[in-house]
Amino acid sequence: MAALEELQNLDLEILESRKELEGIPENLKGQRCDVGRVGEMLERERARLEEAIQWRTDREKEISNNGDLLGKSKGKLQGARNEKENKAAQREIDTIRKAISDREEEVIKIMEAIEQYRAAVEVHTKEFAELEEHLKASEAEGKKRMADLQAVVDATAARRKGLASRVPADMLRLYERIHKRLGRALVEAKDGKCTGCYMELMPQMYIEIQRGTRTFTCPSCFRILMFKESEPAESAT
């Protein structure tokens, strides 16, 4: 029983290490996903900024073209030979001036938007860089932790073999079968109860478990039951 208990302690330790070992890549995958999402958002914001800048450039080009047209219309006005031509040129000039003033208003609006977009991109670029930095650190840390855990798991193989050889074969088989299913396969019987599921044991069974005459499994949770003498510190108080 003592060897089996030691074996179980080792197995539970291994189980813990394996669980942590498997959890690390999962955790990193989740982090990578988050960083990727922020990166995509940043890309969209950058595209939006570029689009706005392009839009402003286009409007400015229109203003410049209208400026040229205005010059030509002014020429026409000066060269007008009669009232009709004079009026037509004046109308042209008014239309062009209106177009220029409209475009200028649009440029002011888009410049405000550009400032906002630029500020957002700046903030999120910084955040993204920090996230990437953090991910890199987590990856390095995870890699190191995984190597450490793997070393622990590898190192236990020889120790486990030694302990297993001290446990009777049929007992070992029973233990391994339960361990595979429940993890903790060996539990203490205490105060007349199974400490695996806290079911009350039959008094006769509990007495026999205390005597250690033969092996019992809990009728409810099927774990192997063992009895431990209470600690001296407990009986002293």
d(CA 111, CA 179): 68
Nearer to Zn ion, 12 or 146 (CB): 12
Q: Residues 196, 201, 206, 226: which binds Zn ion (CB under 5 A)?
A: 196
d(CA 63, CA 99): 8
Contact stretch for Zn ion (CB under 5 A) within 47-55, 132-140, 160-168, 193-201: 193-201
Q: Taking Cα atoms as reference points, which of 66, 89, 67 lies closest to residue 76?
A: 89
Nearer to Zn ion, 156 or 195 (CB): 195
Residue 221 binds to Zn ion (criterion: CB under 5 A): yes
Binders of Zn ion in range 52-91 (CB under 5 A): none
**Dihedral angle, C-alpha 181, 185, 189, 192, nearest 10 °:** 10
Q: How far is the CB of 217 from Zn ion (least distance, A)?
A: 8
Nearer to Zn ion, 42 or 225 (CB): 225
Pairing of strands 186-190, 224-226: parallel
Q: How far is the CB of 229 from Zn ion (least distance, A)?
A: 20
Residue 220 binds to Zn ion (criterion: CB under 5 A): yes
Residue 194 binds to Zn ion (criterion: CB under 5 A): yes
Q: How far is the CB of 11 from Zn ion (least distance, A)?
A: 18
DSSP-assigned letter for residue 200: B
Helix residue spans in 79-168 (DSSP H): 83-164
d(CA 148, CA 226): 33
CA atoms within 13 A on the CB side of 120: 17
Give residues with Cβ within 8 angstroms of 111, minimum separation 6: 56
Nearer to Zn ion, 21 or 221 (CB): 221
Residue 218 binds to Zn ion (criterion: CB under 5 A): yes
Q: Residues 108, 197, 202, 207: which binds Zn ion (CB under 5 A)?
A: 197
Nearer to Zn ion, 149 or 194 (CB): 194
Binding interface with Zn ion (CB under 5 A): 194, 196-197, 218, 220-221
